[in-house]
Amino acid sequence: MKNNTIDKNKTKNVYQFKITLKEIKPPIWRRIIVPETYSFWDLHVAIQDSMGWTDTHLHGFEINFPRSKLIVSIGIPDEDEPEGEQEIVPGWKVKIKEFFTLENNTANYIYDYGDYWQHKVQLEKIIPAEKGLTYPVCIVGKRACPPEDCGGSFGYEEIVNGTSEFQKEYGDYDPEYFDTDDIYFGDPAERLKSILQ
């Protein structure tokens, strides 16, 4: 596994998450460990990189606020959002530890509002950081991420079954393949800089 991130803030604890793509059987999932200092933006980048997405579409988290249990939307705010729509909190301004607790341990993560890939993000445990280990890290997972822009879970099913009208485009796609050594974790700060320019 390759890693382009450095935890500049020495982290005392790390959060272990299981990321599972909803509506897909057998399941496609990853288990990742990230620093407690991470923002939701940082977590988004770790999810993208560990799953195998290309981060070319919008995303968002939906999670209960621990004290009020109101659902909060976290992602990239839309300046053209109509008045009265639910406000989207910028992911880079909110730390995961402000929302994720062992009691409030689940969020919905949506990627690509066209194909509408929903992921269950579940905090499994909070553990001490291992000395000398650079985070994030993906420790295990199963199955390949669906191809981008394949038409959501329905289009994905057609590709796996060999019935897609675009089958030639996905000829070398192996839905069973996954190897943690293929994961490259990019720098969340660099990626954020590129979208805010």
Find all residues with CB under 8 Å of 36, minimum gap 6, and list them: 11, 12, 13, 14, 15, 96, 97, 126
Token duo for residue 183: 């994961």
pLDDT at 8: 45
Give the mean pLDDT of 181-186.
Answer: 96
Distance CA 62, CA 158 (A): 29
Strands 13-21 and 29-35: antiparallel
Give the mean pLDDT of 106-119.
Answer: 98
pLDDT at 122: 99
Q: Is the entire prediction scored with pTM above 0.75?
A: yes
Residue type at 145 in one-letter notation:
C
Find all residues with CB under 8 Å of 109, minimum gap 6, and list them: 19, 44, 47, 59, 60, 61, 118, 119, 120, 121
Domains, the chain, with CATH or none: 2-148+178-196 (3.10.290.30)
pLDDT at 2: 56
Give the mean pLDDT of 160-174.
Answer: 83
Rounded percentage of the chain residues whose pLDDT exceeds 90: 76
Residue 172 has pLDDT above 90, yes or no: no
Give the mean pLDDT of 117-146.
Answer: 96
Distance CA 144, CA 190 (A): 26
Q: What is the DSSP string of the chain?
A: -EE-----S--SEEEEEEEEETT-SS--EEEEEEETT-BHHHHHHHHHHHHT----S-EEEEEE-TTT--EEEEE---TTPPTTSPPEEEGGGSBGGGT--SSS-EEEEEE-TTTTEEEEEEEEEEEEPPTT--S-EEEEEESPPPPTTS-HHHHHHHHHHT--TTGGGGTT--TT---GGG-EE--HHHHHHHHH-
pLDDT at 191: 95
pLDDT digits (tens, 9 = 90+) for 1-27: 556 554 545 789 999 999 999 999 999
Residue 158 has pLDDT above 50, yes or no: yes
pLDDT at 69: 82
Give the mean pLDDT of 52-77.
Answer: 94
